Copies of this chain bind each other. A is one copy, B any other.
Amino acid sequence: VVRRQGRLNLEEIGRLAGVSRSTVSRVVNGEPNVSPEVRARVDAVIAETGYRPHAGARSLASNRTGVVGLVIPSAVETLFDDPFFGRLILGISEETNAAGVVLSLFLFNEESEERAIYKRVVSPGHVDGVIVTATTMGDPLLAELSDAGMPCVVVGRPDSDAPLTFVDADNYGGSREAAHYLAGLGYQRIGLIAPPSNNTAGVDRRSGFLDGLADRGLSVDDRIREGGWSEEAGRRAMAAMLVDRPDAVFVGTDRMAVGALRAIREAGMRCPEDVAIVSFDGIISPDQTDPRLTSVTQPVAQMAAQAVVLLQAVIDGSGDPAEQIVLPTELVVRESCGAALRKAPR
């Protein structure tokens, strides 16, 4: 067996500092029982040599990796143009940076990739736990990961009553508030362009909005259209909606709202004078649309931060199992809802 010479490791650092590798290990890990002088000496050698512990060896010996995974299924549909995932990734990475933890990314588009990714995620020694963005109805991945004993935190409400830890925005409450708000502005012929219903967020937004209208004795009647993910879906839905002459429409996602605005313009109408709009996400920068969108805004950064914190708790065994956090949304009023035209909401 050939031995590489002088590889920088605990033993070597110990030799240079005149202590054993155990002591160096203690210094590296910030354990208390080390005399100040020894600690200083070891730290000096480490700084001088640029020594860094070997992550694999650490993981092997301690059974912890210092890595958390972020699992994003069906990436292609949304990651392209929806700023939500960009913001989420950014928020999570900020939090993992602060926690001194490395972030691994598991994206997949097809079922076949899902299987392969799954195997990699659950391979021991890769990650200590995962954050899963899975609000897709009927996705088995979540249950599988959880069953395999992998510490999990879900961003979004999981489609299952299994006791999973999750953090979600209040899609239901926020949409209901939007309904109340539009009703309060005096709109009578209120419509709904529904968000995709293949995920829990969409389902919750739809029911929240309908319930909110009912609270005020209103209903969408036939002023409801099924939407999708894209701007084009929003454009089509609004074009179809206009024949029913709504005076205000709740559009289930910001991206669809962009398309909806275009449909209104193409029909020779104006927003908010002819049709007012409130959307959901708060994720498109306001200046990108004309008029600027009034939107129920998700606290994405908070969701991201919470997810990381929750995951740490699940990993180290502290904290409730199956803790479920629903963060409040905020209705940010801009021009598209026509509030300025209707000064006194009743």
Interface of A: prevailing SS: helix
Q: Is the CB of B79 within 8 A of A89?
A: yes
Q: Given the complex of chains A and B, what is the CA–CA distance between A94 and B107 in angstroms?
A: 8
Query: How many chain copies does the complex carry?
Result: 2
The answer to whether residues A104 and B107 also contact, given A56-B56, A59-B56, A259-B287 and a CB cut-off of 8 A, is no
Instruction: Decide if A334 is an interface residue (CB 8 Å cutoff).
Output: no
CB distance from A22 to the nearest CB of B (A): 15
Q: Is the CB of A56 within 8 A of B60?
A: yes
Q: Given the complex of chains A and B, what is the CA–CA distance between A55 and B127 in angstroms?
A: 9
In the complex, which residues 124-175 of chain A have their Cβ closer than 8 Å to any Cβ of chain B?
124-126
Q: Is the CB of B258 within 8 A of A288?
A: yes
Q: Given the complex of chains A and B, what is the CA–CA distance between A107 and B98 in angstroms?
A: 12
Q: Is the CB of B90 within 8 A of A80?
A: yes
Q: Given the complex of chains A and B, what is the CA–CA distance between A87 and B78 in angstroms?
A: 10
Instruction: Decide if A346 is an interface residue (CB 8 Å cutoff).
Output: no
The closest CB in chain B to the CB of A107 belongs to B93
Q: Given the complex of chains A and B, what is the CA–CA distance between A109 and B124 in angstroms?
A: 31
Residue in B94, B100, B105 whose beta carbon sits within 8 Å of that of A103 in the complex: B105
Instruction: Decide if A1 is an interface residue (CB 8 Å cutoff).
Output: no
CB distance from A264 to the nearest CB of B (A): 12
CB distance from A293 to the nearest CB of B (A): 14
Which of A29-37, A114-122, A196-204, A218-226 is found at the contact surface with chain B?
A114-122
Q: Is the CB of B52 within 8 A of A119?
A: yes
Residues of B within 8 A of A97 (CB): 107-108, 113, 116-117
Residues of B within 8 A of A102 (CB): 104, 106, 120, 126
CB distance from A97 to the nearest CB of B (A): 5
Q: Given the complex of chains A and B, what is the CA–CA distance between A185 and B140 in angstroms?
A: 55
Q: Is the CB of A125 within 8 A of B86?
A: no
Q: Is the CB of B287 within 8 A of A231?
A: yes
Residues of B within 8 A of A107 (CB): 89-90, 93-94, 97, 103
Interchain residue pairs with CB less than 8 A apart (21): A52-B124, A54-B125, A55-B56, A55-B124, A56-B58, A56-B60, A56-B125, A57-B125, A79-B90, A81-B86, A85-B86, A89-B107, A97-B108, A100-B116, A102-B126, A103-B104, A103-B105, A103-B107, A104-B104, A231-B288, A235-B287
Q: Which residues of A contact B (CB under 8 A)?
A: 52-60, 65, 67, 70, 75-76, 79-81, 83, 85-87, 89-90, 93-94, 97, 100, 102-109, 113, 116-117, 119-120, 122-126, 230-232, 235, 258-259, 262, 265, 285, 287-288, 290
Known: A89-B107, A97-B107, A232-B287. 10 other contacts (CB 8 A): A53-B124, A55-B125, A56-B58, A76-B90, A79-B86, A79-B90, A80-B285, A94-B109, A103-B105, A231-B287
